[in-house]
Every structure is written in C-alpha cells, then in structure tokens.
Amino acid sequence: MLTSEPVQPVARTAEASAASQPATRWYAALTRGQWAAASVVGILAIIGAATIVVQLTRWFLGLGFMQDFLATYPGETPLPEGAPVGLPAWLGWQHFFNVFLIVLIIRSGLQVRTERRPAAYWTPRWSKGGQGKISLNLWFHQSLDILWLVNGVIFVVLLFATGQWMRVVPTSWEIIPNAVSAGLQYLSLDWPLENGWVNYNSLQVLAYFATIFIAAPLAAVTGVRMSGLWPKNAPALNRSYPVEWARAVHFPVMLYFVAFIVVHVTLVFLTGALRNLNHMYAAQDAEGWLGFWIFVASLVVIAAAWIAARPSVLAPIAAVFGKVGR
Ligand code: HEM
Ligand code: HEM
C-alpha cells in the first residue's frame, strides 16, 4: 500500500488528460505492424516526392531559356583579380578550433537550457556579496564563448590581411542568380562542379558569409546581453535593448548553426570527401588520405574534450577564476 499511494494520483492525471484530449493520442492505439506499415508508406511517399522534384527540376533546366541561364550563370561567381588560390594552414587551424569550440558551446548551451538543478555553481572571484552567481554549465558556456570570440576575431583579421576574404564575401550582384543556379543544380542531383580550392560555388559563399558575418555576431551580441558582462545599471540602454529580445534570438541562432553544420558536413562528404578534407585539414589540393586522417585525429580530440567536460573536471578549472559551490 505504501508504494502504490504516491503512484495513484499520477495515474489519475494521465487518464484524465487522455480523456480530455482524445485526438492527440490516437497513434497510441497503433500496433507494431501498423507502425511499420505506416513508416514504409511514409518513406515511399518522401522518396516519391523527392523523385518528382528532381525530375521536374531536370525538365525545367532542360528548357532552352534555362540552358542560356545556366551558360550565363554557371553557379560560381568570378573572384576579383588577385584573389588568393588555395587554403593556407592558418585557415585550417582556425577552422579546427572553431569546430572544436562550437561543438562544446552547443552542448553546454543546451545543458543551460534544460538543467533544472545545476550540479554546481560558480561565483566570480571579484563578486561582492555573491553577485553574479551562475551554474557551472553556464560558466563553461561563457568561457568557451570567450575563446571562440578570440578565435573568430583572429580569423576575420587574417581573412582581410591575406585577401582570403574575397572567397567568402560576395563581391558582385551576380552572386544571386549564380546561387539560384547552384541551388537548382543541387536539386537536379546533377551537382555543380566543385573547385573549392580556387572558388566556392555561390550558394556556398552565401552560406559561409551568413555564418561568419551574420550568425556569429548575432550569437555574440545576444549572448553578451544575457551575460554578467552586460552593465546592469544602465536603464536607458537596457530599455532600448531588452534582455527578452536577446533570449528570443539566441536560441534560433543556435538552430541555424546546427542546420548549417548538418548540411555543410553532408556536402563536404558527398562532393569529393578526400579532396575537400585535404583542402581544409592538410592545406593541399590532392587526392590522398592525409587530410582524412588529420580530420579523424581532430574528431578524437573533440570526443576527448566532450568526455572530459564533466563537473568533476570543470569544477577545479572554474575554481581558478572564482568560487565553486553546490
Ligand atoms: C566536422 C565538421 C566539419 C568539417 C569536416 C568541415 C569541412 C570543411 C571543408 C572541407 C571546407 C572547405 C570546403 C572546400 O574546400 O570545398 C570547409 C570550409 C568552411 N567551413 Fe567547415 N567543416 C566542419 C565544420 C564547420 C563548422 C562547425 C563551421 C562553422 C560553424 C564551419 C564553417 C566553415 C566555413 C566558414 C568555411 C569556409 C572557410 C573559408 O574558406 O574561409 N565548418 N569546411
Ligand atoms: C559570444 C558568444 C556567446 C555568449 C556570450 C553566450 C552567452 C549565453 C548566455 C549568457 C546564456 C544564458 C542565457 C540565460 O540566462 O537563459 C546562453 C544560453 C545559450 N547559448 Fe549562448 N552565448 C554565446 C554563443 C553561443 C553560440 C555560438 C551558441 C550555439 C551555436 C549558443 C547556444 C546557446 C544555447 C542553446 C543557450 C540556451 C538558450 C535558452 O535557454 O534558450 N551560444 N548563452
């Protein structure tokens, strides 16, 4: 009796809510066989719809005026004269640090979002009367952010110091029709010729530009607004930029990053994986396996950091910069 007592009210609420919203739970009645059948029908429908889209796009691209369009706008926009060729080693390092940090930033951000009772708290060493106390996860998130911002600033400075910016910043309006052209070619499964060593296709340029120059600054500007760095005693400033706005934008920006990463990494692997990995991880335009193995090593480093990033390891590091307590 002792054990059944606390269970009963829960069971009753579940029944009551099921009775009050019968329409939301119809699928609970499906048998395993029906689930399997429904899944097969669903998958076939998706494949069917995708096939129709691909065939329609191919038919459309075959029309005379579209052939002219493709000839004028092949999907990549010529670079300004004197643009550098190839990816230097510094860019590969920056890209690696960025991937390393953003994986942990996304994880710690999601932990901040979902944690109910943080395992530990951190209070800045310079705090007066315990002000600025945050969860250990948020401390980790913000510490990674500082490193990520430093890496990002160095990246952008080097982009402009070396001319590499020309490869990731649109320099002519032709980029728009060229991006449409590249998009249609992707949809037709007859993909634009890849030559990332010399010039990215226009859809790639727009995606890289949006990531570096729009999404990253947005994450920073909204994140700093929510952080302890932001001045509390500035009523006029805080009224003109309410913290609720920052909160409302910060999370969707993370969703953008996740979507970008999924599509980006998928395309890296589907459009000549070994060559692409050599570009970014071995700073060379070759066909061999060197870039692939450096990439694998980088994944091992990231996995090790992922595993190490637990409270028992983070707490002593956080304690160097402040007070850690439960
Ligand atoms: C394991 C994950 C990743 C892999 C394997 C990867 C791989 C690559 C490769 C191979 C290129 C060069 C493409 C080419 O030569 O055609 C590239 C470029 C780029 N990637 Fe990634 N990437 C990864 C994650 C990320 C993440 C997380 C971001 C940003 C949030 C990112 C942003 C970029 C940008 C901005 C460029 C263009 C850089 C430039 O040329 O200045 N990548 N990536
Ligand atoms: C300079 C960069 C950044 C700073 C200063 C920053 C700061 C913060 C702060 C202070 C919070 C806590 C918000 C709260 O109190 O509810 C937070 C939450 C979060 N951050 Fe960041 N962040 C930065 C970059 C990023 C990036 C690049 C991502 C992902 C790509 C990210 C993902 C998240 C997520 C998912 C949350 C939880 C949001 C929620 O609860 O709705 N952050 N960040």
Ligand 1 binding pocket includes 156 (Cβ within 6 Å): no
* One-letter identity of residue 287: E
57 domain residue, yes or no: no
Q: Which two tokens stand for residue 251?
A: 């999370």
Give the structural domain span for 321. 67-325
Q: Decide the pairing of beta strands 134-135 and 322-325.
A: unpaired
Supply the pLDDT for residue 64: 96
Atom of ligand 2 nearest to the CA of 112: 37
In which element (H, E) is residue 293 found?
helix 290-308
Give the ligand with the smallest distance to the CA of 135.
2
Per-residue pLDDT of the chain in tens (326 residues, 90 and over written 9) = 343 444 444 443 444 444 455 556 777 888 899 999 999 999 999 999 999 999 999 999 999 999 999 999 999 999 999 999 999 999 999 999 999 999 999 999 999 999 999 989 999 998 888 888 999 999 999 999 999 999 999 999 999 999 999 999 999 999 999 999 999 999 999 888 778 999 999 999 999 999 999 999 999 999 999 998 899 889 999 999 999 999 999 999 999 999 999 999 999 999 999 999 999 999 999 999 999 999 999 999 999 999 999 999 999 999 999 999 98
User: Ligand 1, atom 22: nearest CA belongs to which residue?
Assistant: 265
278 domain residue, yes or no: yes
Give the ligand with the smallest distance to the CA of 115.
2
6 domain residue, yes or no: no
Atom of ligand 2 nearest to the CA of 110: 35
Q: Domains in the chain: how many in total?
A: 1
Query: How many Å apart are CA 20 and CA 79, to the nearest integer?
Result: 62
CB neighbours of residue 80 within 10 Å:
11
Ligand 1 binding pocket includes 323 (Cβ within 6 Å): no
Cβ atoms of 287 and 278 closer than 8 Å: yes
In which element (H, E) is residue 123 found?
strand 121-124
52 domain residue, yes or no: no
Query: How many Å apart are CA 99 and CA 277, to the nearest integer?
Result: 14
Query: How many Å apart are CA 311 and CA 326, to the nearest integer?
Result: 11
Supply the pLDDT for residue 21: 54
CB neighbours of residue 156 within 10 Å:
16
Instruction: Using the CB atoms, write b or e for 82-102: b if 16+ within 10 Å.
Output: eeeeebeeebbebbbbbbbbb
Query: How many Å apart are CA 222 and CA 99, to the nearest integer?
Result: 20
14 domain residue, yes or no: no
Supply the pLDDT for residue 115: 93
Ligand 2 binding pocket includes 140 (Cβ within 6 Å): no
Ligand 1 binding pocket includes 58 (Cβ within 6 Å): no
41 domain residue, yes or no: no
CB neighbours of residue 222 within 10 Å:
21
Task: Point out which residues pair with 124 in neighbouring strands.
Answer: 322
Q: What is the CATH number of the domain that holds 312?
A: 1.20.950
Supply the pLDDT for residue 23: 58
Supply the pLDDT for residue 10: 42
**In the block, residue with structure tokens 């070619």:** 185
Task: Point out which residues pair with 121 in neighbouring strands.
Answer: 135, 325
216 domain residue, yes or no: yes
Atom of ligand 1 nearest to the CA of 87: 40
Q: Which two tokens stand for residue 323?
A: 């007070």
In which element (H, E) is residue 315 found?
helix 311-321
Give the ligand with the smallest distance to the CA of 196.
1
Atom of ligand 2 nearest to the CA of 247: 41
Give the ligand with the smallest distance to the CA of 224.
2
Centre of ligand 1 from the C-alpha of residue 77, in Å? 19
**301-309 contacts, C-beta under 8 A, 24 or more apart:** 301/100, 302/99, 302/100, 302/103, 305/100, 305/104, 306/103, 306/104, 306/107, 309/104, 309/107, 309/108, 309/140
Residue 10, phi then psi, degrees to nearest 5: -60, -45
Atom of ligand 1 nearest to the CA of 204: 37
Ligand 1 binding pocket includes 73 (Cβ within 6 Å): no
Confidence (pTM): 0.88
Ligand 2 binding pocket includes 70 (Cβ within 6 Å): no
Centre of ligand 2 from the C-alpha of residue 32, in Å? 40
Centre of ligand 2 from the C-alpha of residue 258, in Å? 14
Supply the pLDDT for residue 11: 41
CB neighbours of residue 58 within 10 Å:
14
Probe target for ligand 2 pocket from 141, 142, 222, 258, with the most ligand atoms within 8 Å of CB: 141
Q: Decide the pairing of beta strands 134-135 and 121-124.
A: antiparallel
256 domain residue, yes or no: yes
